[in-house]
Amino acid sequence: MANVKKAIKISQKHLLGIQDLSISDVNFILTEAKQFIDLNKSKNKKLDVLRGKTQINLFFEPSTRTQSSFELAGKRLGADVMSMNLNNSAIKKGETLIDTAMTLNAMHPDIIVVRHQDSGASNLLSQKVNCAVLNAGDGRREHPTQALLDALTIIDRKKKIEGLKIAICGDIVHSRVARSNIYLLNMLGAEVNIIAPSNLMPKDIEKLGVNSFSDMKKGLKDCDIVMMLRLQNERMTSSFLSSNREYYEYYGLTPDKLDFAKDDALIMHPGPMNRGIEIDTNLADDINKSVIKEQVELGVAVRMACLKIFCE
């Protein structure tokens, strides 16, 4: 990251997906995020760059880590943060997303962080409000801050992304994390291997510039990073798999499968994990190999950077 040119301004008004960002946008966000890593480790964690700004977290889908991460990020920057969980609110009374957006817009927030179960929900919202919209996950489409924090974690450990071989493995078809990571890692010059059983592989994924594998061992060969995804049982509407046991046998990350990757390969997971289904529990906790906790830590820094940049 030493030689990259720093952008002065972000090209987009909203952060809806990695697809919309340019490489200088990405570097701008990552550079900004790096400054917050140390701040988050220090004793006084509070800044006032967003003092007087209002941040609304609009979560239509349950979330623990993303929502708390955004909340903490906003608070550390001095914003007034309001979190709304809409499981039991107006939406249940038949109010549409656009009506909810209009209502919130009338309260003059400076930034809305939104998570929704439908792909494209953040795009729709962004067309109807005056403030910036940060996508915290829309259906299966994108989860840009997750990809950015993954990139930051990789850079933090490997010092670069360009030229690395990165495997993304698991339930790709239902995964917004996979999609955002594919765009971002491709943009930053990594070689991306996608590993999934055919039933969980989206059609024509190769057209996004990745290699696809249904044999995990082949896909993991010589990889620097192994990114495991959660099996999204809640999105499975019909029989995709025979059983979790068989899935673990063929697609769960175990020490013997990890042996196919490079010796110094790192394990990542966006969480929450299904231990014993997609990942061996000891591997997940192996501090020499797993950077899962670091991902969470850097997540706050990345979200602080995004809030700061898109609020301006």
Partner 1 sequence: MKKKYFLNGYIIDPQNAIDEVGGLIISEDGKIEAAGKKVNINNIPSREKYIDLKGKHIIPGIVDMRVFVGEPGYEYKENFRTLSEAALSGGVTSVVTMPNTNPVIDNVSIVDFLKRRGRDKAKINIYPTASLTKNLESTNMTEFGLLQAKGIVGFTDGYKTIQNTRLMSRIMRSAYDLNCLIMQHVEDSELAKDGMVNDGIISTKLGLQGISDLAEKIIIERDLTLLEDFNCRYHISQISSQKSLDVIKKRKEMVEFTCGVSINNLSLNENDIGDFRTFLKLSPPLRTEDDRLALIKGINNDLIDVIVSDHKPEDEEQKRLTFAQASTGASGIETLLPLALELYHNESLKLNKIIKALTCNPAKILRINKGNLNTGNDADFCILDINKPWVVKKENLISKSKNTSIEGRKLQGKITNTFVKGEELFKT
Report the interface residues with partner 1, using CB under 8 A.
19, 96-98, 116, 118-121, 123-124, 138-142, 176, 179, 202-205, 207-208, 237-238
* CB-nearer residue toward partner 1: 108 or 203: 203
Question: Token match 């929900």: residue?
Answer: 121
Smallest CA-to-CA distance from 17 within 192, 208, 207, 153 is with 208
d(C-alpha 268, C-alpha 297), whole Å: 13
Within 10 Å of residue 226's Cβ, how many Cβ atoms?
29
Q: Which two tokens stand for residue 237?
A: 């509407």
Provide, rounded to whole angstroms, the least separation between the CB of residue 187 and partner 1: 15
Provide, rounded to whole angstroms, the least separation between the CB of residue 300 and partner 1: 26
* Exposure letters 70-105 (e unless 16+ CB within 10 A, then b): bbbbbbbbebebeebebeeeeeeeeeebeebbeebb
Q: Which two tokens stand for residue 219?
A: 């896909």
Looking at residue 86, the DSSP 8-state letter turns out to be G
* CB-nearer residue toward partner 1: 194 or 267: 194
Within 10 Å of residue 285's Cβ, how many Cβ atoms?
13
Provide, rounded to whole angstroms, the least separation between the CB of residue 76 and partner 1: 31
Distance of CA 66 to the CA centre of its chain: 9
Collapsed DSSP state (helix, strand, coil) of residue 83: strand
* CB-nearer residue toward partner 1: 159 or 207: 207
Pairing mode of beta strands 165-169, 191-195:
parallel
* CB-nearer residue toward partner 1: 78 or 120: 120
Provide, rounded to whole angstroms, the least separation between the CB of residue 172 and partner 1: 9
* CB-nearer residue toward partner 1: 238 or 288: 238
Provide, rounded to whole angstroms, the least separation between the CB of residue 238 and partner 1: 7
In order of 19, 87, 106, 212, 246, the CA distances from 111 in angstroms are 20, 21, 13, 37, 44
* CB-nearer residue toward partner 1: 121 or 168: 121
Provide, rounded to whole angstroms, the least separation between the CB of residue 53 and partner 1: 27
Provide, rounded to whole angstroms, the least separation between the CB of residue 71 and partner 1: 24
* CB-nearer residue toward partner 1: 63 or 117: 117
d(C-alpha 40, C-alpha 175), whole Å: 29
Distance of CA 35 to the CA centre of its chain: 20
* CB-nearer residue toward partner 1: 26 or 97: 97
Provide, rounded to whole angstroms, the least separation between the CB of residue 206 and partner 1: 9
d(C-alpha 32, C-alpha 276), whole Å: 37
Distance of CA 10 to the CA centre of its chain: 19
